[in-house]
Amino acid sequence: MSMKGREVAMDEEHEHRQTPLFTPREHEGDLEEIRNFKQLARETLKEKKNLWHLAGPAIFTSLAQYSLGAVTQVFTGHLTTLELDAVSTENMVIAGLAFGVMLGMGSALETLCGQAYGAKQLHMLGVYMQRSWVILIITSLFLLPIYFFATPILRFFGQDNEISSLAGKFSLYMIPQLFAYALNFPIQKFLQAQSKVMVMAFVSALALLFHIFLSWLLLVVFKVGLVGAAVSLNLAWVVVVLGQFVYIAMGYCPGAWNGFSLGAFRDLVAFARLSIASGIMMCLEMWFYTVLVALVGQLPNPQVAVAAMSICINLLGWQLMVFFGFNAAISVRISNELGAGRPRAAKFSIIVVILSSVVIGLMFFITVLVLRDVYGIPFTNSPEVVHAVSDLALVFALSLLLNSVQPVLTGVAVGAGWQWLVAYINLGCYYMFGLPFGFLLAVYFELGVKGMWSGMLAGVGLQTLILIGITLSTNWKNEALAAESRIQLWGGFVDEPAKIIQAQLLIPHGEQSI
């Protein structure tokens, strides 16, 4: 062979040995550049099918699981007012706190499992799920004092003594639910990453029907009282957990579940950091509304103000269940596409889901404005409260419109692994800007509850604008490479020099310890 031939062969061998960092795998099988309207329509329809295939069952799952607590409240409403207040307080405050922490920390798996699945590193999904179980069970142990001391905690925050005492007793009955949360959310993220959302919807529907029947049997037929309500709700969550896990253990997730592994106990500290970031991000959003209601209680005529605010937040919660489905869908789509090295497909998916969400948000917006004088009537017989709810119609409708986009952008952030960044954004927009601004409008400008809601709207609006700016300015090719590096650092094969280079160049600032 000539010298020139040997040089060409050496160059080819050198190129063949390059790590994925320098061989842009993200172009292989990526979405083609869209050049005409026909291609745009075809790809949009295809992406909509992908999104609704995930979002539809995810929305149903969210609504079904959200309804478990509501069903308990409906049945306890046939007991006494005190027992209804106690169950409602435990459900909103104690269980609500645990739910937010567990759901948020479990969301770390949306990043890791989604990107690992996209990169076809299926063997890591089961390990990630087990690591999350370990972290969340430990977290449950730290949350136990809130259940044990629920009565003095509720009294400290000004709750009625009788309600606090009974809610504290009911909280002790509901401790099994806490550990069910710890097992359920990692399982859900494990299944979501593989687009196995129909089984989640089926199991949730089964659990809801079981809960309705058992609640009727225990509370209406046998009149067991709060103990029966707790037994029914706890068992419903056990059905959710066992139903999903049996599906996994029976071999319907080949390659992703290979049994229990000691690898679940490795890298727990680093895994906990990402879980904590996800938990803080989620809790800062969920607790924002709780703090808002507490501040409204300090305004003049607090009974009417709190009632009006609570009705609107209740309706907002049901809408958020719909868009949590979109949140889950876009998180899976983004993490899968980045893990597969398809940045153009990831970006296109974001555009399609945001436009779809805006259309649905506009429908909610118009509906509230059209029904502004009557949508509060099903919730109250008080003309004062109905008038206060009607007075909130415009800012409430704008909130529904904004909240059609905001959860989707949060889903994008989770799919890309930006949890810490969004946590800081939430802290600044919600607590350092939105709440003080709302309190200023409510008290000093005497706008009352409308002022508080306007401050909340301003905080959510600012957060949404920042997330849109970040999403538009993101280099998705670099994010695809960062996803590959994250997967390799969490258990994939990569040469040590490449691992070091990727960790230094591609992992976003603040994640290098992961």
Three-state DSSP class for residue 35 = coil
Of the candidates 224, 132, 195, the one whose C-alpha atom is nearest the C-alpha of residue 337 is 195
Between 226-247 and 197-215, two packed helices, what is the crossing angle to 10 degrees?
Answer: 160
CA–CA distance, 132 with 182 (Å, rounded to integer):
8
CA–CA distance, 353 with 82 (Å, rounded to integer):
44
Domain boundaries, the chain: 56-266, 277-514
> What is the 8-class DSSP label of residue 382?
-
CA–CA distance, 429 with 241 (Å, rounded to integer):
35
Give CA torsion, residues 279, 282, 283, 286, to 10 deg.
-160
- For the record, the structure tokens of 495 come out as 């040469």
Of the candidates 146, 118, 116, 120, the one whose C-alpha atom is nearest the C-alpha of residue 132 is 116
List, in order, residues 6 or more apart from 97 with CB less than 8 Å away: 143, 146
* Residue 448 phi, psi (nearest 5): 60, -140
> What is the 8-class DSSP label of residue 129?
H
Q: Which helix (H) or strand (E) holds 449?
A: helix 448-473
CA–CA distance, 453 with 402 (Å, rounded to integer):
13
- For the record, the structure tokens of 86 come out as 């106690």
- Taking only the tens of pLDDT, the chain with its 514 residues reads 444 444 444 444 443 433 332 233 444 567 777 788 888 888 889 888 888 888 899 989 989 998 898 899 889 888 887 888 888 888 888 998 899 899 889 988 887 888 888 888 888 899 999 999 999 999 999 999 999 999 999 888 777 889 889 999 999 999 999 999 999 999 999 999 898 999 999 999 999 999 999 999 999 999 999 999 999 999 999 999 999 999 999 999 999 999 998 888 888 888 888 888 888 888 888 888 777 777 777 777 777 777 787 788 878 878 888 887 877 888 888 888 887 888 888 888 888 888 888 999 999 999 999 999 988 888 777 888 888 889 989 999 999 999 888 888 887 887 777 888 999 999 999 999 999 999 899 888 888 888 988 999 999 999 999 999 998 888 877 877 776 676 666 554 433 433 443 343 334 433 433 3
CA–CA distance, 231 with 229 (Å, rounded to integer):
6
CA–CA distance, 123 with 126 (Å, rounded to integer):
6
pTM confidence score: 0.79
Q: Is the distance from CB of 455 to CB of 442 less than 8 angstroms?
A: yes
